[in-house]
Amino acid sequence: MAEPTALALRLRELERCFQGVVPTAIATCSPEGIPNVTCLSIVHRVDDEHLALSFQFFRKTRANVLAHPAAQFLVFDPVTAVQYRMDAEYVRTEHEGPTFERLRVTLDAVASQTGMTGIFTLHGADIYRVRAVEELAHDLDLDDVVGAPDVVRSLETLSARLESCEDLDELLEVTLEGLETLFDHRQSMILFADGAGTRLYAVASRGFAASGVGAEVPMGHGLIGTAALERRPIRVTNFWKEVTMVEAVRAVAGDRAPATEVAREIPLPGLPNVGSQLAVPILARDRTIGVISVQSANPGRLTHVDESALATLARYLAAAIQLAGARSAPDALSGRSYARPPAGESPVRVRHHASDDSVFLDDEYLIKGVSGRILVRLLGICERDGRVDFTNRELRLDESLRLGGFRDNLEARLILLRRRLEERTPAIRIVKTGRGRFRLELTRPFELARVP
Amino acid sequence: MRPPAFDEDELRALIDLGVSILVATRSAHLEPHATRATGLRLLGGDRIEVLLPRATSSRSIAHLEDNGEIAVLIATPRTFAAMQLKGRATGFTATTPEHLELSDAQLRAFADALAPMGQTRKQARNAWSFDAIVVSVDVTSAFAQTPGPGAGARVGGTRDG
């Protein structure tokens, strides 16, 4: 066989074609001469000459190429509508290595998000070498095509804004606001990992019907949990297609795999009919700080460019979060003010369950875990001493809060608690009074009840 | 009486969703070839017609004239639900205004299906507005092609082709 020659069009220039927006077709032929054509669920570009297809279910295509390796792909650029035809040949199936891992992680994430863990299984990554690429005739006016936004400039702008943020609260706000105004990601959220590294909790979101702040995701579950556990970005370009596949699997499997319900009191923010989603871990050396995730109602909206941009942004954010933590750490309480909660109003009934540190306000769930412990601690001090001014530092040193050293982000827990209070009641508020300082503002008295 | 190779009603429902029509042929050396067709017409009795644009399908047309072996995939980009028909090309004719009207209607439906994905209607329609040839196909078998464990399963009856 002749040595492969460089392609006139490199596959990287056709990256948009592989995102699953418009089906990619693959034609093969059986040894008996019967042609076959099918749409591909996942096409990954390995390098400038190779494509990888996920091998999940045995298909005619596979049987054909194992017997007779010639194949032809027909791809469609979803932006320009130009079509390309690629002569290719099946070369091997990989069961390990970076390409297999990339396919496996995405598949695992979708499987766990759709309750299909153990049913969606990657058997292998089928590698094809592309020998020739041909652009098909068209009469399109390509001048009409809207150019891609300048991602580098947007990153420069947003990273500069992050540098000037004072604290974590501002960092989160600026990040999500920038994702919308500079990158047109209208639905976004940031989750932080807890101190034990077993769960993630939503600390900020933008563009969803409900903020979902306080929602928890187990590490390794769904796109977000998998991105955190595997420490790599995960992107699903066409969720509608995945849903079709899930429904097809359920129909064939006689619905033996009901969706996995993850117990959580606050639903994770999400679009009702999500088309595409991207989750990128926020990493600090060996530690996973959290995950930043964007969603779109449209399949194909989130591309490899968005993935690279968000991964870069996550690095800026990780550095900025660590810097903000270092800045706020040495702050001490300068003046302490004391105030009694106002009398006359009916008291807010605050119920604390020690078993999971869940807190209910007037029988409505508010929060649990570390944030729950913090609120009860603050109210306890207020009840005992009448004090309402606090510092982050004293909380960080408070052993009763069991913060798990520096691994649990106290600032993130406080932001979460403040936002949950804002959503649930006007009676109790946490208000920033300076860097590393805050005040408990009470418009009604409270009754603190502790139950096991 | 033999059962039909495919359920026309089921296929019509799929076409109504807005579909892309993909065709595979093969050379005398069993090299597969893929192209995009338009204007799928169901004629009853396991016979169909598709339009192949000459500018993008010259090799497909040559293959069909040579050996007649054809596979036609009807897939909706919205959900990837799909059906594949296999059979033999039995004739080639020029397009009539009726063919072009049907082709245009199907392209409009396809463009509508793509619209939520950021595709403009103009782009989707322009992609295939070429002079085309009508290929008549005798369908011998049909396969469910929606992604999943059922993909590739034969639907309908079988005919020797």
Across the interface, whether the CB atoms of B151 and A68 are under 8 A apart is answered no
For the stretch B3-23, pLDDT in tens is 778 888 888 888 888 788 999
| Averaged pLDDT, B81-91 | 93
Taking CA atoms, what residue in B is nearest to A69? Answer: B31
What number of C-beta contacts closer than 8 Å exist between A and B? 186
Mutation site for B-interface testing, chosen from A17, A24, A39 by largest number of B Cβ within 10 Å: A39
- The two beta strands, A348-353 and A446-451, are parallel
Residues of B within 8 A of A130 (CB-CB) are: none
The closest CB to that of B34, out of A25, A78, A141, belongs to A25
The Cα–Cα gap between A301 and A285 comes to 30
Q: What is the signed CA dihedral for A363, A366, A369, A371, rounded to 10 degrees?
A: -130
Rounded-to-10 torsion of CA A324, A435, A410, A293: -50
- Is pLDDT at B85 greater than 90 in this prediction? yes
Question: Which residues of A fall within a CB distance of 8 Å from B69?
Answer: 33-35
Please judge whether A37 and B71 are an interchain contact, meaning their C-beta atoms are less than 8 angstroms apart.
yes
Structure tokens at A338: 């004391």
User: Are A58 and B150 a contacting pair at CB < 8 A?
Assistant: no
Q: According to the model, what pLDDT value does residue A2 have?
A: 44
In this prediction, residue A252 carries a pLDDT of 62
Strand-by-strand arrangement of the A437-442 sheet: A389-391, A437-442, A428-434
How far is A44 from chain B, CA to nearest CA, in Å?
A: 17
Contact residues on chain A for B57, CB-CB shorter than 8 A: none
Minimal Cα–Cα distance from B99 to chain A, Å?
20
Nearest-CA neighbor of A427 among A414, A448, A442, A449? A442
Query: pLDDT 10s digit of each residue in chain A, 452 long?
Result: 444 456 777 888 888 888 777 778 999 999 999 999 988 767 889 999 999 998 776 578 999 999 999 999 999 887 777 889 999 999 999 999 999 998 888 888 888 877 777 777 788 999 999 999 999 887 777 766 656 668 899 999 999 999 989 889 999 999 999 999 999 999 999 999 988 889 999 999 999 998 999 999 999 998 999 999 999 999 988 777 777 767 766 666 555 444 444 333 678 888 888 888 999 999 998 889 999 999 998 887 888 889 999 999 999 999 999 888 776 554 555 555 666 666 777 899 999 999 999 999 999 999 998 999 999 999 999 988 888 999 988 998 888 888 865 567 888 999 999 999 999 999 999 998 888 889 999 999 999 999 98
- HSE-CB for B72 with a 13 A CA cutoff: 33
Q: Which chain A residue shows the shortest CA-CA distance from B152?
A: A59
Nearest Cα to Cα of residue A428 among A385, A391, A376: A376
Q: What is the DSSP string of A108-144?
A: HHHHHHTT-TTTS---EEEEEEEEEEEEPP----GGG
User: Would you state the pLDDT for residue A260?
Assistant: 44
Chain B residues with CB-CB distance to A70 below 8 A: 30-32
pLDDT for res A259: 45
Residues of A with CB below 8 A from B130's CB? 137, 139
Interface test with A, best of B14, B25, B26 (most A CBs within 10 A): B26
Eight-state DSSP code of residue A20: S
Nearest in space to B29 (alpha carbons), one of A33, A71, A129: A33
What mean pLDDT do residues B102-124 have?
72
pLDDT at A257: 43
